[in-house]
Amino acid sequence: MKRIVVLGSTGSIGRQTLDVVRQHPDRLEVVGLAAGSNAELLLRQGSEFPKAKLALFHPHPEIPSGMQALMELATLPEADLVVVSVAGVIGLRPTIAAIEAGKEIALASKEVLVAAGEIVMPLVQAKGVRLLPIDSEHSAIHQCLRGYGSGDVGEIILTASGGPFRGRNRRDLENVTATEALKHPTWSMGGKITLDSATLMNKGLEMIEARWLFSVPISSVRAVIHPQSIIHSMVRLKDGSVLAQMGWPDMRLPIQVALLDPERKPNSLPTWNPLDTPELTFEPIDEETFPCPSLARRSAEIGGTMPCAMNSANEEAANLFLRGEGTFLGIADVVREVMERHEPSKATLETLLETDRWARETAQRIIRNKPQTPHG
């Protein structure tokens, strides 16, 4: 029996994590549940899983609240594994606390490694814990590399559906709305990650994650468009062999892989047959129309606090766009301008939290045309 804590239990990944638990009650037990602000759903989940302690990030009169409550949940003595599926850098401090407490991590929050891979992965190694990816792309790479090391890798090739605007040019995208951007052709996800799929920033973030998860240079990671979303990612080994993990797009499978690793258990998910999708196609990313992946790659090449500044600027610009401020194409422009203004320093928890604050404030000023000051 593996006892788990789910940070972000009311979000898309959190709810699907609980679906996986329901499929394997003999192997998984929930001992902690945390959410951002959805107290009503959290309390219902707590009723279903009565052994679970509860926490909310935002204040609540009846539920332990705040960052300290999340960190206490992440370090519960009885917990074996902590699922981190909260949006934004909110997940960083609980993840670090869980690692320091010797917990296994099942990671769905991109921001943890994008912003802080330089401090998180050395801590994982120092504490001797496992950090398992939940993202379908990184889960695919993890499965393909079983039995191989980073020295065997020639190239990691991430796949992208292309989002709702695949094949469009910049002129086509000048006036798109948030509603249009949230119509993902393949996956059902939360608003922010769905928008990142539309701008293709999600592929930029995933390239940075892959660099840290699999100990390869960013130059050895790239992405291609694969509209059918059957091949979830590929690895080219140094001898030229290419390994791929394939299946229908359903996040419950990579979640199960992370929670039960290294076991492979039957489930009720639909199985893929090659004859169901006889034509699998690939396209290059149009980086003129979708510059976000190249911006993310550039931030990784610079290193230090630059990936954090890039990520926080994107998160702020994306969330403001979803609330009706700024433009779709303007998201990349804001990220680029914040990166140009940022003076990167060595990544520590303190410098990353300060960079996160500064980048968000700077992105807001850019979008709202307020006076701007350089980051020094």
The pLDDT tens digits of the residues spanning 29-52 come to 999 999 999 999 999 999 999 999
Query: What mean pLDDT do residues 275-301 have?
Result: 97
pLDDT value of residue 96 = 97
Give yes or no for a contact between 195 and 181, defined as CB atoms under 8 angstroms apart.
yes
pLDDT tens per residue across span 334-343: 999 999 999 9
Report residue 153's pLDDT band, with 50, 70 and 90 as the boundaries: very high
Question: Please, which residues bridge with residue 223 across strands?
Answer: 158
pLDDT at 14: 97
Please count the other Cβ atoms lying within 10 Å of the Cβ belonging to residue 104: 21
Residue 234 three-state SS: strand
pLDDT value of residue 324: 92
Nearest alpha-carbon partner for 200 in 109, 264, 302, 284? 284
Show the CA angle centred on residue 365, arms to residues 35 and 371, nearest 5°: 155
DSSP string, 127-164: HT--EEE-SHHHHHHHHHTTT--GGGEEEEEEEE---T
Nearest to 344 by CA among 317, 299, 306: 306
Q: Please state the rounded mean pLDDT for residues 121-142.
A: 97
CA distance 51 to 38: 19
Asked if the model's pLDDT at residue 376 lies above 70, the reply is no
List of residues 6+ apart from 332 with CB closer than 8 A: 199, 201, 290, 291, 292, 295
What is the DSSP secondary-structure string of 71-123? HHHHT-TT-SEEEE--SGGGGHHHHHHHHHTT-EEEE--HHHHHHHHHHHHHH
> How confident is the model at residue 88, as a pLDDT?
77
Q: What percent of the chain has pLDDT over 90?
A: 93
The domain ranges of the chain are: 2-134, 136-248+269-286, 303-367
DSSP 34-71: EESS-HHHHHHHHHHSTT-EEEESS--SSS-BSHHHHH
Q: How far apart are CA 5 and CA 86, in angstroms?
A: 12
Bridge pairing between strands 131-133 and 104-107: parallel
pLDDT at residue 372 greater than cutoff 50: no
The three-class DSSP label of residue 283 is: strand
SS3 214: coil
Report which of residues 220 and 374 the model is more confident about: 220
Q: Please tell me the predicted confidence (pLDDT) of residue 371.
A: 46
- Say how far apart CA 9 and CA 13 lie, in whole Å: 7
What is 303-367's CATH topology?
Rna Polymerase Sigma Factor; Chain: A (1.10.1740)
What is the predicted pLDDT for the residue at 187? Answer: 63
Which phi and psi angles does 221 have, rounded to 5°?
A: -125, 130
Mean pLDDT in residue range 248-268: 96
pLDDT at 322: 94
Return the closest-CA partner of residue 195 out of 58, 327, 4: 327
Query: Which pLDDT score, from 0 to 100, does residue 373 have?
Result: 43
The span from the CA of 155 to the CA of 210, in Å, is 11
CA 43 to chain centre: 25
- End-to-end CA gap in the chain: 50
Instruction: Quote the pLDDT of residue 116.
Output: 96
CA distance linking residue 101 with residue 195, whole number of Å: 34
Residue type, 273: N
Residue 191 banded pLDDT, cuts 50, 70, 90: confident
**What's the CATH number for 2-134?**
3.40.50.720
pTM, to two decimals: 0.94
**Residue indicated by tokens 């807001």:** 364
Q: Is the pLDDT of residue 11 over 50?
A: yes
Task: Judge contact between 300 and 207, C-beta under 8 A.
Answer: yes
Please say if the pLDDT value at position 15 is more than 90: yes
* Amino acid at the residue 58: H
